Amino acid sequence: MSETEIEVLPLKSKIAKMALANHQEIVDIRRYLHAHPELSFKEKNTAEYITRCLDKIGVQYKSGIGGYGITGTIKGKDPDSLVVALRADFDALPITELNNIEYRSQNDGVMHACGHDAHTASLLGTLRILNQLKNEFSGTVKFIFQPAEEKFPGGAKLMIEDGVLEDPRPDMIIGQHVYPDLEAGQFGFRPGKYMAAADEIYITFVGEGGHAAMPNKTIDPLLITAHFLTAVQQLVSRNADPFNETVVSFGKIIGEGATNVIPDFVKLEGTIRTMNEEWRDEIHDKLRRLANGIAASMGGMCELEINKGYPYLKNDPRVTKKLFDAAKEYIGNDAVHELPMRMGAEDFAYYSHEIPACFYRFGTANAAEGIISGLHTPTFNIEETSLKDSVGMMTWLTIKLLSKD
């Protein structure tokens, strides 16, 4: 279909046709990013690549926001009426890719295993279409390309502190994320609380090591650790309100003794996930008192640090309902779903505590082709036809939010 034929189509059809026409270019961008991943706070080359893409689109932007962050605007008619922000992240993970694909990561031990390459490519495709349609919508689109989503304190926090939500201040913000639990072409939304606050726990139990055959002459930090790990689960089962979502998990224990050696200390690393900020602070205090109390009762000591991470992510009910209905208009009722709550974390949450927000998911699986691996795994990949739908959907949702109905 020619550009002239596209021009006379209804807006929804026009967006779909433009997304299809740009699809291969967006796939190429995603593949380049996938092959050249960079870790959080080290995304210099990725940021430069994004700015080159923005130059081709022909939009104004500023770089170096909160690190390697990039932001800019596309102004439609009556640009002061409403401002909608669109966000994509672009850092990768410290994972060695195992996919046998032509665009496999060229950086050993680094991989786009959480789909940030797809998020960035999708937003670039969305901006290309919005820039071409800027005479067909009112208001201003503010775009945010954000680094360092995967590592505390989070690029969102740093960009906000550097003024990304000012000049102009958005009235609302949306972000989208790959979702391998849904087939390509499917979308998911959830109003209200959606993802958890995440905090990191670092504990060292200090005892007095010695010969394992003479435990009476030691203060065993392994035994202190065992008592603590059992007791800490009661913080959830006997302290948290059953309707107040809480997870406390430990994934790393280092106690470097031997078959006949009790070590001097044991180190633990874990996480706390919550959906309530007041309870979040309370469970931190309870965990400190529990760890110190158990250690002292058994003759040892405890060194404990809690790194407070991202807040819980809340989707504004009004904005999310509007987008949920608009998504059905664009792609059909059967392809739009309400999502379950997740105890995973996402630094988009920082935006959601500043302005009305919606963080939604687009399906990336293709079970028939074996594209089903989960996020943060070395075989994660996406069905690339999903990029056509993610670009078209974000464009459509943006224009619907800018409308005054």
- The residues annotated with a catalytic role in the active site are 91, 149
Helix (H, G, I), strand (E, B) or coil at 303: strand
At position 143, the amino acid (one-letter code) is F
DSSP letter, residue 171: S
Helix (H, G, I), strand (E, B) or coil at 392: helix
Helix (H, G, I), strand (E, B) or coil at 62: strand
* Contact status, residue 379 vs residue 195, Cβ threshold 8 Å: no
- Scanning 138-245, the segments in alpha helix (DSSP H) are 155-161, 221-232, 234-237
Q: How far apart are CA 14 and CA 4, in angstroms?
A: 11
β-pair type (357-365, 172-183): parallel
Q: Which residues are registered as beta bridge partners of 62?
A: 71
Find the helix packing angle between 116-132 and 11-21, rounded to 10°: 130
As to burial, measured by CB atoms within 10 angstroms (0-12 exposed, 13-18 middle, 19+ buried), residue 306 is middle
* Contact status, residue 307 vs residue 202, Cβ threshold 8 Å: yes
The structure tokens listed for 361 are 């998911």
What value, to the nearest 5°, has the Cα angle with vertex 187 and ends 177 and 101?
55
Helix (H, G, I), strand (E, B) or coil at 235: helix
